Chains A and B, each alone.
Chain A
Amino acid sequence: MHHSVEIEGLSFSYPDGHVALREVSLHIQPCEKVALVGPNGAGKSTLLLHLNGILTGQGKVKVAGLEVKPANLGRVRASVGLVFQSPDDQLFSPTVFEDVAFGPIYQGLPESEVRLRVEEALAAVHMLDYAGRVSHHLSVGEKKRIAIATVLSMKPEILVLDEPTAGLDPRARRSLIHLLDELPITMLASTHDMLLVSELFPRVVVMDEGRIVADGPTRKLLQDAALLEAHGLERPCVN
């Protein structure tokens, strides 16, 4: 029941009329790692934004056993760690420590607990000695890891990532993959990086034009060339 995601019949249209989601249904089990793929405009990011109530559509969305509705938003946001694509938009404090501490401080945790959480989160992303650094000066790879830490400090049950490897050089990407592999947490990641999908995510969900068009084991789906081509996806070159 907990550490899970249940979406039933979710539909959403933007104010300008654009229909972004059509009757999307998705169930993620505790500790499952699921990749969300599809062409740009498929509705992936829109779907992710429903998971912590930033957007609200028609249909049912339940995360960590909580229904996503106004009364629950506080608990929902503490339970779902949403990491956005651009780290610059998520690091808005002078120091790394303050950015990672935001979540716990907002929740009203005592100072000792805040420090502990920050340490644990930074340790989980292998950036413990960066606490006093200025986020602005870090490399993209470092910023992405800090961004994940800012969310881990809330001890969420589910980690949701939007394009985690976008903009990373091979080394940073490799270390991020290691990192995500180590985290024992329910995970949903929207990505174009098919190699990442095949390495890290046993289950893949394909979206196109607001609908889920395929949902199944990664190994099987990535062999289906016709499916991939129909939805603008490339097979990863795995030797």
Chain B
Amino acid sequence: MHVHFLDPYRHRLSPIHAFDPRLKLVLVLIFIFTNALLPVGAWPVYIVMFSLILAVEILSELGVTYVLKRSILALPFVLAALPLLVTVPGVVLLNFSIGAWDLSISQEGLQRFISITLKSWISLQAAILLASTTTFPNLLVAMRAIKIPRLLVSVFGLMWRYLFVLVDEALRLMRARTARSGQSELPGLKTGGGLAWRGRVTGGMAGSLFLRGFERSDRIYMAMVARGYDGEVRAFSMPKISPVDWLVLGVGLALLGLLLGVGLIFWG
């Protein structure tokens, strides 16, 4: 059983995939930052931002439905902002009562709520695009480029290498547990063994995972040493960034700056 479904990268021959990963990471981060700086209620700007990310999605040939489906995952968090509807003071749109509380939804509250939801959704799509159009090794290169310490990047790299192996093991552990989770033919027995017991058994599974990880890391270290590892992390240097990519970055930044300016001026 293999957990490739966990790897978000989808190979395509699109310009987004080909765009230099270092610049891509920077652009996505600035996009999300710009998004966050946009004031509440700047609907036209939100729409333009959304169109931009939609256009990139189309360009990436990932399929808009693919990105949108993945973006549904963060939806539940919207609940955290729900109270805004009734706590922000302003023009009342709707009065209702729950039990002993009389609540009213205000226009300002609705605006705040929708702004947060929309902006979050747009940022999320940008992040999905980054992960789906950039191979993990390239992401590591991009991380080095934005000056994340070498040590941390190499730990990331090793983590990625063993992520699927260990997730596989975790899934097999759960499968083995399921296979032994039966129901006796004797009547009147309570299945499940008790909450605390179940928790501890799961802990044993986690412990087993960790322990095997520990011991595996010893073997990995030995294999690395056998290949001349001395603690230093070296990698091939990335090819130079093409002028076209620089241009795209420049245009992107200018566009984001313009949108931010417009947003702040008219709705700030």
Give A84 to B177 CA distance when docked, in angstroms.
11
Question: By the criterion CB–CB under 8 Å, are A106 and B191 in contact?
Answer: yes
Interface size class of A (residues with CB under 8 A): 20 to 34
Residues of B within 8 A of A108 (CB): 184, 189-193
Residues of B within 8 A of A15 (CB): 5
Residues of A within 8 A of B189 (CB): 107-109
Give A79 to B180 CA distance when docked, in angstroms.
10
Residues of A within 8 A of B192 (CB): 106, 108
Give A93 to B208 CA distance when docked, in angstroms.
8
Find B183's partner among A78, A82, A90, A98 (CB 8 Å cutoff): A78
Question: By the criterion CB–CB under 8 Å, are A54 and B172 in contact?
Answer: no
Contact with A along B1-12 (1 / 0, CB 8 A): 000110000000
Give A90 to B4 CA distance when docked, in angstroms.
23
Find B178's partner among A77, A92, A136 (CB 8 Å cutoff): A77
Question: By the criterion CB–CB under 8 Å, are A106 and B176 in contact?
Answer: no
Give A81 to B179 CA distance when docked, in angstroms.
7
Give A89 to B185 CA distance when docked, in angstroms.
27
CB of B138 within 8 A of chain A?
Answer: no
Knowing A54-B175, A89-B176 are in contact, say whether A154-B193 is a contact too (CB < 8 A).
no
Residues of B within 8 A of A88 (CB): 169, 208, 212
9 more CB-based (< 8 A) A-B contacts, given A94-B207, A109-B186: A77-B179, A78-B185, A86-B172, A89-B169, A89-B176, A92-B207, A103-B180, A107-B184, A109-B189
Which residues of A are in contact with B by a Cβ distance under 8 Å? 15-16, 52, 54, 74-79, 81-82, 84, 86, 88-94, 98, 102-103, 105-109, 136, 150-151, 154
